[in-house]
Each structure stands twice: as C-alpha cells, then as structure tokens.
Structure 1
C-alpha cells in the first residue's frame, strides 16, 4: 500500500469551507439500507458524492434507497459474495475514495449465561469478521494517500453494560482491528472508528440488524415506558437521543481532507453521556 510515489510533506489540501465530502467522492457503504446507512447514503448524494450501497438482499428489498445509488447485494459472512460485490462495483468505480462499514447485529439484552454459542458466533461474524473481510476486499481499490475507511463500532465497546457481552466484545474487537489496520496501511489509507451511543433508528426500537426491523422508532418501545425513555434522555448532558444525522456528519468529516492527519482513532458520539 505504500509503494506508490507520494510526498508525505505535501498532503491533500484542506477545504476549510467544506469540511465534509467533496462532490464526486466515490463512497462505498456496507450496511447501506439500515437507519444510519440509509441516511449516510442520502446525505452523501446530497453533497454530490457517488455512492454504492451494499447490503443483504432482504434489506435492499424491504428498505430500497432512493436516488442515484448503485445497490448491490452482499453477504458479509461469505468471502465469495464480498468478492463478487466488489468486482461488480469495480465495473463502475475501479478506484474508490472511501469505505464505511455500518453492518452490525445485536440481541436484546441477555445475561452472558443465556447466550447460545450460535448467537455469540453470529454476532462476532457480522460485526467483526465481516468488517475484516470487507476491508480486505476494499483496500486494493482505495485511492492511495487520500483513501479512508470508517468502521461503526459502539459506545458499548468501552462503556459496557450488563446484558451485552457478545455485542460489546464484537465492537471492542472492531476498534482493536481498526487500530492495527491503521498502522499497517499508513500512510496510504487512513482508518478510523465512530462509536455512537443511543441513536434513533429501527435498531434501537427493537430491530436486531439481521432481519425485518420495526417501521417506527420509539425510545419507549426499547426502554419499556415513556418514563424510562425520558430518564435515558435526562442522562445525556445534551438532553436528547442522537439522530442518524448526528452520526453521519462526523463520518463525513473523518472521510474527508479535514481529517487528513487523523488515523487509528475512535470518535465517541453520545451527547456527553460517556466522557473519554
């Protein structure tokens, strides 16, 4: 990744008037049809980016994206499926500028002793192994010395809570993987992580990320009552639960030239609920 000529003393200029994606930015989003992924795709299109969305066949059928997005099916558990998806996107974009891995699944909170081995393995496979396989497929296509990867982890990777053993372990592993990868592929490609807290998406309302998700998003549904939902809001210094846009904007920053000297870092987005 580092054998192409490049002057590290003369990096990509920063456009201080636009610390986000530039028009024409070639972006691949894996997990494109979920709550954060779909918002990411639509906002990227609004900025003039060229977007390819990868998700399961079921997600693409249930929650189709609008606009000029090339949607391709992928199974992140299957290396052959990933290879096929990247071969197809390569027909449109032989080179890409950015990759965001949003795909992830979880279960309703349960004690560690109640986790089955199958639940544990599937969570690790989608959240961690899938990120590894996708990164391997994407790296040869990322534009050297300006290319960027952003993985979506979770605040539960660091600020753990009872009942999330498999999920927290997978997301903590993703942060560690990103750090190693960032050192291995520098200076050609930057690798960073965004770790959201609670976000108003169908995942929060009861979806697991592995199948059909509720159409409505309700904090009360997740926490059991309006009172508990309000208590969760009150626990956040900024007094609300994040919306997808709150996560997407920092992702765009990390992908763009404004973050040209940032790699191997994890950005926690939680309204100040947990301070690092």
Structure 2
C-alpha cells in the first residue's frame, strides 16, 4: 500500500472561512491538538478548553489561548463561557472532543465508578458544555461538532460503558440538531481507531503519549484490529481533523443531525 502523506490534505479548502472563531473542548488531547494546529494554519481563531492537567502536560503553541475547565462542573463551564464571550462575543464553531476510555473489560468485571465516569465525561459533559455555549453560537452559520465513536454502532465485547455513552451522544446530537435548526447546525464525527494518547485513557487523565494498540489489546488483538480495517492502517489525528473542519464550514451548510463515520472501512453503515 502506498505510504500515506498527510501533507496532501488541503485543510484550507475544508474548513470555516478565515477569521472564524472556534472553541475546541478537549483541545489539548491527541485529536484536539491536531484540530487546533490545523485551524491556526488556515487562519481560524481558536480557543482551547481542557483540564488543567492536560493544559500543563500537553501545551499548545505559544499564542493560543487555553481555558482550564472541568466539563462536569457547571460553574467552571459558566466561567469559560463568560471568558469566551468577553474575548470574542460570538462563536462560529464548537467542537466537543473530551472523552475517556478504558481497556476492554467485560460487564461482569466493570466497576460502577468506571461506568459512571464514561457516562459523565462522554455524555453528560457534552450536554453541559453544549447547553452553556449554544447562547454564543452565531445564528445562521454556527456549527457544533461532537466526537462519538464507531463503537457507538459497531460494538465490540468489553466496551459496554464506552459504547453506551457514545451511542447516547449520537442520539443527543440528533435531538439538538432538530431543536436548534435552522439557526445552528449540529453534527457528529464517529472515528474508528486513532493513534493518540486516548488509547491510554486520554490526556486529561495523564495518559502517556506513546500508548499503542498492543498495550491496549495485546499483540494478537492489535494484529486482528489492524487486519479488520480495509484501508490497512489505524487512523492518525489528521484523518479526523478534515471531517471536523468540513462540518464546521459552509461546504456542509445543508447537513445537520448527521454522523460521519471515519474508520478506514472498518464499519460500513
């Protein structure tokens, strides 16, 4: 298979117009950092929101504003909203990337606290953040993008909590899309496997940046996972950035309530 060259992607043709204002929640994570960096490269204004731990351990380039926030704390979210309002006034786009995952664990061995954490960060946090920020979205052109997962619809054993939370996120986004139309569009990107620190639990939880499929699934499991992807490789963050930027921009102006599956052919809806 030919070597993949991410530089072949023309991000400037995909995203919102130059000067658009984006808030990236989870902006210091693996995909989040890629979204922030590519957005800056094509002339967008970006503010990143993430946990204090992620902001400290995974800094963004100098000049990019970061706001510490706990997505489960309504008061902290309100402070973040006020900070963004004072800085910009209105937003063109909001991306919710915050999420947690766990190594595959059967339901029989899964703890209640583990279950609650997945539902809280992956779903409740998306609800709290989007509800608070919708007042800042620019009417007529504002766009929200939630990051779900292929495991929301193409489930695997061991991912009960994660799959349930991400399936709920898709349903929530559909409802929100109907409620906010025609003023604000709401869509979802559902990635397959992506090589990021998320494989170790996420940057917000101090995950190592060198987490691998082998560490998560074991050697045989990792080999099987790669073999199941028709395009022959695991995604890199930029593979997910392009669909996100597309959904934020005018090229997707007649799309709302939709889910884009980005998985190399692993799941074909």
- 1:1-276 alignment to 2 at 5 Å? 18-204=13-199, 206-208=200-202, 210-225=204-219, 228-276=221-269
For structure 2, the 5+ residue unaligned runs are 1-11
How many residue pairs align between the two structures?
258
SS at match of 1:224: helix
SS at match of 2:190: strand
Partners in 2 of 1:117 and 1:234 — Cα distance? 33
For structure 1, the 5+ residue unaligned runs are 1-16
Which deviates more from structure 2 when the two are superposed, residues 213-222 or residues 129-138? 213-222
TM-score relative to the length of structure 1? 0.90
Greater fraction helix: 2
Give 1:185 deviation, angstroms.
0.4
Cα deviation 1:156-210 (Å, max 9, x = unaligned): 1000111111111100000000000000000000000000000010112x23454
Give 1:108 deviation, angstroms.
1.1
Cα deviation 1:223-259 (Å, max 9, x = unaligned): 322x543432221111110000000000000000000
SS at match of 2:205: coil
Structure 2 residue aligned with 1:7: none
Give 1:139 deviation, angstroms.
0.6
CA contact (8 A) 1:105 1:209 kept: no
SS at match of 2:187: strand
